[in-house]
Structure 1
Amino acid sequence: MHQLVEQFLKLKPSKFDGKGDLEAAILWVKELEKAFALLGCTEEEKVTLAVYQLQGVANDWWEATRGRVFPIGMVPNWTAFAETFNGKYFSEIAREQKMVEFLRLRQNQMTVDQYEAEFSRLSKFAPRMVEDPVDRARRFRDSLKPELCSQLILLNLRDYNELYERA
C-alpha cells in the first residue's frame, strides 16, 4: 500500500474540500478515476486513496458518513463510495440547474470555439439529449447565431465534428 500511495501522490491528484460548485466535484472524481485506472487499483484501494484526498468539510462529511456506508466488517468499494459522494455533491437540484443552463445555451456573442467549449462542458449534464450523434449535432447547430444556423441547415450536416468545423 505504501508503494501505491507514493505512486498515486506522484500523479499530484487534487484535494477536495467540499467547497466549489458541482463541476469541481465532477472533475475531482474524473481525475481520481484516471489515476486509479493507470495504477490498477482495487476497489478498496480506490476508496482509501480518495478519502486521503478529502479535506475540510468534505473530510468532516466523510467521517460522519463512513460508518453508515461501510459498517464494521464491510470491505469498502468504490461504487458505494462514489454513489454516496455523488448523493452529497451532485445533488439533483444542482444537476437540474446545469441541465437548464445547457438548454438555455446560445452562441450569442461567443466565438464558435467558445460556444463549442461551453456546449461540450454543459452537455455532460444532459446526456440523454446528446447521446444520439444526430441529436447532438442538431442541438449544437440550432443554438448557433441565426445567420450561421440558417446557412448550416442548408448543408444538412449530421456529423457533430463536421458541423463544428464548418461553423
Structure 2
Amino acid sequence: MAVNRQMHQLVEQFLKLKPPKFTGKGDPEATPRWVEELEKAFEVLRCIESEKITLAVYQLQENANDWWKATSARVFPKGVAQTWAAFTESFYGKYFSDSARERKIAEFMQLCQGQMIVDQYEAEFARLSKFAPRMVEHPEDKVRRFREGLKPDIRTQLIPTNLRTYEDIYDRAQALERDQVDRAAASGSRFA
C-alpha cells in the first residue's frame, strides 16, 4: 500500500512539472528534446531508474505507446533490471534514425560561430554536441572543437592561451568578445 502511494505521489509531482508527451510523429529532433525534458524532471524529483521508466512510459501516447507495449518485454525481459540507458537506446533506435543522427553529427561538425554571439554559439555547440558524444568525450577534444568553431579574430587570441577546460575557453571567448564590442563602441563614439 505504501509503495503505491509513493508512486502516486511521484506521478503527481511529475505531472506538476508539465512534462511533454510523446506520440512518435513529427520532427526526429523532437525525440532527443523529449528525453532531455524528462531528464530535467527526473533530476528535480531524484528518480531512481525504474521510476524513470514508469514516468516516461506514462508520457507515451498513440503510436509511441503502441510501440512500447510491443517492445517492452524485449527491452526488459523478466529478471533484467530496468535502466534508463536501455530504454533510451531502444527509444532512439525507433524514433531517432541513424540518418537523422548523422545529419545532426554533420551539423555539429560544420558548426561555426558566424554571426552568432559567443553565448548563442555555445548554446548551439552544447545542443549539437549531444548528438556527437564521442567527438567531445575527452575534455581536450571538446575545447579544441569549440575553439575551432569560433570567429577567427577570437580564435587566434585563444590559441596561445592553451586553455584546457571547456568552461575556461568559453569564459575567455566571452571576455574577448565583450572587449571587442567595448573597443568598437569606444572608437565609434570618438568619431560620432
* RMSD of Structure 2 on Structure 1 (CA): 2.7
Q: 2:112 aligns with which of 106, 117, 120?
A: 106
Q: 1:131 aligns with which of 126, 133, 137?
A: 137
How far 1:152 moved relative to its partner?
Answer: 1.6
How far 1:45 moved relative to its partner?
Answer: 4.3
How far 1:143 moved relative to its partner?
Answer: 1.4
Q: 2:82 aligns with which of 67, 72, 77?
A: 77
> Which residue is equivalent to 2:96?
90
Question: Identity of aligned pairs, percent?
Answer: 66
Separation of aligned partners in 2, 1:44 and 1:159: 34
How far 1:19 moved relative to its partner?
Answer: 2.9
* Matched ranges for 1:22-41 at <5 A: 22-36=28-42, 38-39=44-45, 41=47
Letter of the aligned partner of 2:107 in structure 1?
E
> Which residue is equivalent to 2:23?
17
How far 1:75 moved relative to its partner?
Answer: 7.7
> Which residue is equivalent to 1:163?
169
TM norm structure 2: 0.71
Separation of aligned partners in 2, 1:61 and 1:88: 9
CA shift digits 1:96-133 (9 cap, x unpaired): 11111110111111111111111111111111211222
> Which residue is equivalent to 2:158?
152
> What are structure 2's unaligned runs of at least 5 residues?
174-192
> What are structure 1's unaligned runs of at least 5 residues?
none
Q: CA 1:7 to 1:135, structure 2 compared with 1: closer, same or farther past 3 Å?
A: same
